[in-house]
Amino acid sequence: MSTAAASLGDGAAGLRHLAIIMDGNGRWAKARRLPRIAGHRAGVEAVRRVVEAAPDLGIEVLTLYAFSSENWKRPADEVADLMGLLRHYIQSEINALHKNGVRLDFIGNYRALKPDLVAMLDAARVKTAGNTRLTLIMALNYGGQDEMMRAAKSLARDVAAGTLSPEAITVETLAARLDTAALPPPDLVLRTSGEMRLSNFLLWQSAYAEFVATDTLWPDFNAQALADAVAEFATRERRFGGR
């Protein structure tokens, strides 16, 4: 166990699922007069650090907002760079993730990506499916509103087919149609770079999540910064609307 993890003791009990909005790659690069891709590359190193540190902090599920459904609006060369980095990450890290007991999975409409990339992602899912030390979820071509729309359409089709009564639709019924149906809801949503918004990330699932924002830009995020966020979570009294 790391020194940072040991210092927390049992204070972070209850943090099973951490979701991170990784923000600040562009600003990190701009501050250093580097191209934006340099910030994204540095961000990949931050991903590696956080994935390595998370299990020692008791985190079971780590969801990373890797590419939103709105990111397609960025310049074509930047989108191409991001897709290239995703390919490189999967190719270079999959064996280490597997060796370290990390199960890799994806949410979002990731099957709309290029077929060869989808095949690579699916192969990574299959390779790591039996691992239990940490579940790493990458949100790819993901948007919370799109996810809820897809879930609503799925329910509407069943109602139209006569296999589901509208009165039978509950919170649980809709949640079961979301991309995250097999996962616990996030306990903590963390955003880097000082911004204070969800940016269409896990809108349904975050209904009672705690929120922590840090001024640290994502490429500078490390194990200590993660431990600090977990320690902040441990100070929160979660009420879930009950009082």
What's the confidence (pLDDT) of residue 4? Answer: 40
Q: Which residues contact 19 (CB under 8 A, 6 or more apart)?
A: 62, 63, 64, 65, 186, 188, 189, 190, 201, 202, 205, 206, 209
In a domain, 65, yes or no: yes
Annotated catalytic, 131? no
Q: What is the CATH number of the domain that holds 84?
A: 3.40.1180.10
Please give the residue range of the domain that contains residue 122: 14-145+185-233
The token duo for 94 is 């999959």
The answer to the question of whether 68 is labelled as a binding residue is yes
In a domain, 170, yes or no: no
In a domain, 42, yes or no: yes
In a domain, 224, yes or no: yes
Annotated catalytic, 200? no
Pick the catalytic residue: 71, 100, 109, 200? 71
The answer to the question of whether 88 is labelled as a binding residue is no
Pick the catalytic residue: 10, 23, 56, 116? 23
Q: Could you state, in chain order, the average pLDDT of each consecutive group of 10 residues for the chain (243 residues)?
A: 40 82 97 96 97 97 97 94 96 97 98 96 98 98 98 98 97 98 97 96 97 98 97 89 66
In a domain, 226, yes or no: yes
The answer to the question of whether 40 is labelled as a binding residue is yes
In a domain, 92, yes or no: yes
How far apart are the two ends of the chain, measured CA to CA in Å? Answer: 36
In a domain, 166, yes or no: no
What's the confidence (pLDDT) of residue 5? Answer: 41
In a domain, 18, yes or no: yes
Domains: count for the chain: 1
Q: Which residues contact 119 (CB under 8 A, 6 or more apart)?
A: none
The answer to the question of whether 144 is labelled as a binding residue is no
The answer to the question of whether 23 is labelled as a binding residue is yes
Q: Identify the bridge partners of residue 191 per DSSP, sorted by sequence position.
A: 21, 213
The answer to the question of whether 191 is labelled as a binding residue is yes
